[in-house]
A and B are shown apart, each in its own frame.
Chain A
């Protein structure tokens, strides 16, 4: 029988993989909830890999999901700020409480699309499929904090909702 085992030494790679997975999973749930067609799997892989790489090098400040309506406005917007710290904490997430919060998320018109942005706190390594971009204005949007989304030994991710 072939089995595999793993040590319990937590690395930055573990933290980056875990947080990027929870963030992408939350984005997946939001897109499905809003009826927005997700990007193809190749693009999805690029986005997950880029977010993981930037968390691992600790350059990533925030991931932003903008829902673009057919009239060109961006609403709602979801922000995933990342906080870094020394190696402490465990792998935990708040997916269950997020699921309960789905009812608070406003709908979007048919034909809406989405864009992902990342902001940085220091120089980052370029990643495939990512280039410079400009976020939509958040002026006039109301911000609601969903609190902690995921926790890992070297970093954590929160979630804010702007509508």
Chain B
């Protein structure tokens, strides 16, 4: 299940505020799963905070998104700055697909000149990676059912 979210950066938000928004989006998405603990997600993302601020401020996430892979969920998170950041509509809702996840990895883009820093930051972290996300996951997700079962269930609950 491939999804994209774009977060408004400067001048609407500072890099620190953007990172907090991204962490909330990831946490809100993954905590729908009974297998994933929200506090553990927050703890796992913390080591990325410094590099994330640098990537956001330097504009790298505008063209090289973070990619959250959680079983069938493939979520690309990018940023927008300038006038676009002030005029865009954001969707900060939890991303459908997180509810069935049992494990997750956030892939950090290896963009120069921060590639080495990305590798060093992700090294030894269970849920962070500086490797390219595995294409198989994306392919199998694309081949999966086109119906978002979780979103459908949520809609049904709202209607009930």
Q: Mark A residues whose CB is within 8 Å of B.
A: 1-8, 10, 13-15, 17-18, 20-22, 24-26, 28-29, 32-33, 35, 38, 40-41, 44-45, 48-49, 52, 90-93, 95, 102, 152
Given A6-B87, A48-B16; 9 other pairs, CB 8 A cutoff: A2-B93, A3-B90, A8-B87, A21-B11, A21-B57, A22-B10, A25-B54, A41-B16, A41-B50
Contact A32 B54 (CB under 8 A): yes
B3 within 8 A of A: no
B15 within 8 A of A: yes
Choose among A3, A13, A24, A92 the residue that contacts B57 (Cβ–Cβ < 8 A). Answer: A24
By beta carbon, the residue of chain B nearest A98 is: B58
Main secondary structure of the interface of A (DSSP, over half): helix
Contact A28 B58 (CB under 8 A): yes
The 5 closest A-B CB pairs, nearest first, are A25-B57, A25-B58, A21-B10, A28-B54, A14-B11
B interface residues, tally (CB under 8 Å)? 32
**CB-defined A-B contacts under 8 Å, sample of 22:** A2-B91, A2-B93, A4-B92, A21-B14, A21-B56, A21-B57, A25-B56, A28-B57, A28-B58, A29-B114, A32-B113, A32-B114, A32-B117, A35-B116, A40-B50, A41-B49, A41-B50, A41-B53, A44-B50, A48-B16, A90-B83, A93-B59
Q: Inside 8 A of B82's CB, which chain A residues have their CB?
A: 18, 90-93
Nearest CB of chain B from residue A10's CB, rounded to whole Å: 8
Q: Inside 8 A of B89's CB, which chain A residues have their CB?
A: 3-5
Nearest CB of chain B from residue A102's CB, rounded to whole Å: 6
By beta carbon, the residue of chain A nearest B84 is: A91
Nearest CB of chain B from residue A130's CB, rounded to whole Å: 17
Q: Mark B residues whose CB is within 8 Å of A.
A: 8-16, 49-50, 53-59, 81-83, 86-87, 89-93, 113-114, 116-117
Nearest CB of chain B from residue A121's CB, rounded to whole Å: 22
Known: A18-B11, A32-B113. A25 touches B50 (CB 8 A): no
Choose among B9, B49, B83, B91 the residue that contacts A21 (Cβ–Cβ < 8 A). Answer: B9
Nearest CB of chain A from residue B59's CB, rounded to whole Å: 5
Q: Bound complex: CA of A6 vs CA of B56, how far in Å?
A: 20
Q: Bound complex: CA of A28 vs CA of B50, how far in Å?
A: 10
Nearest CB of chain A from residue B35's CB, rounded to whole Å: 26
Contact B59 A15 (CB under 8 A): no
Nearest CB of chain B from residue A161's CB, rounded to whole Å: 15
Q: Bound complex: CA of A29 vs CA of B86, how far in Å?
A: 25
Choose among B16, B53, B81, B113 the residue that contacts A18 (Cβ–Cβ < 8 A). Answer: B81
Known: A2-B93, A17-B14, A29-B114. A22 touches B57 (CB 8 A): yes
By beta carbon, the residue of chain A nearest B46 is: A41
By beta carbon, the residue of chain B nearest A102 is: B113
Q: Inside 8 A of B56's CB, which chain A residues have their CB?
A: 21, 25
Q: Bound complex: CA of A56 vs CA of B59, how far in Å?
A: 22
Nearest CB of chain A from residue B138's CB, rounded to whole Å: 25
Q: Bound complex: CA of A45 vs CA of B19, how far in Å?
A: 12
